[in-house]
């Protein structure tokens, strides 16, 4: 595994948003946890506001933004999984 892995969804070369695959596991976990919890909290907020009407375009754009944060968190979790599998194989 290379030291720096670009996050998913970035097609620019060279990539500028990278995950340090050699960062301590607890730091990687906190990074992923923060992004996934942010998405969860915002989605819960939307779900519990069903009595407030919202423009579908606004909700669509909001969901696209949440997808980016969720994808970032999943990318970091992928790095954690790879690191743990590599450690188990040693």
User: Tens digits of per-residue pLDDT, 6-35?
Assistant: 888 777 788 888 999 999 999 999 999 999
Top pLDDT among 30 and 62 is at 30
31 close to 17: Cβ distance less than 8 angstroms: no
Domain that holds residue 31: 4-89
Q: Distance of CA 42 to CAs 20, 49, 58, Å?
A: 27, 11, 14
Task: Report, as an integer, the average pLDDT of 49-78.
Answer: 83
Predicted pLDDT at 81: 95
Residue 18 dihedral angles phi and psi, to the nearest 5° = -125, 155
Share of the chain above pLDDT 70, in %: 94
Q: SS3 for 82? A: helix
Predicted pLDDT at 85: 94
Using CA atoms, how far apart are residues 10 and 18, in angstroms rounded to an integer? 10
pTM of the model: 0.79
Q: SS3 for 4? A: strand
Residue 12 dihedral angles phi and psi, to the nearest 5° = -75, 145
């Amino acid at each position: 595994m290379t030291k720096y892995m670009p996050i998913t969804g970035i097609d620019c070369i060279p990539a500028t948003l990278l995950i340090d695959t050699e960062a301590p596991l607890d730091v990687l976990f906190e990074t992923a946890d923060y992004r996934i919890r942010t998405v969860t909290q915002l989605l819960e907020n939307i779900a519990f506001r069903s009595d407030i009407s919202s423009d579908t375009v606004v909700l669509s754009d909001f969901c696209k933004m949440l997808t980016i944060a969720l994808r970032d968190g999943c990318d970091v979790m992928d790095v954690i999984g790879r690191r743990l599998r590599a450690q188990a194989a040693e």
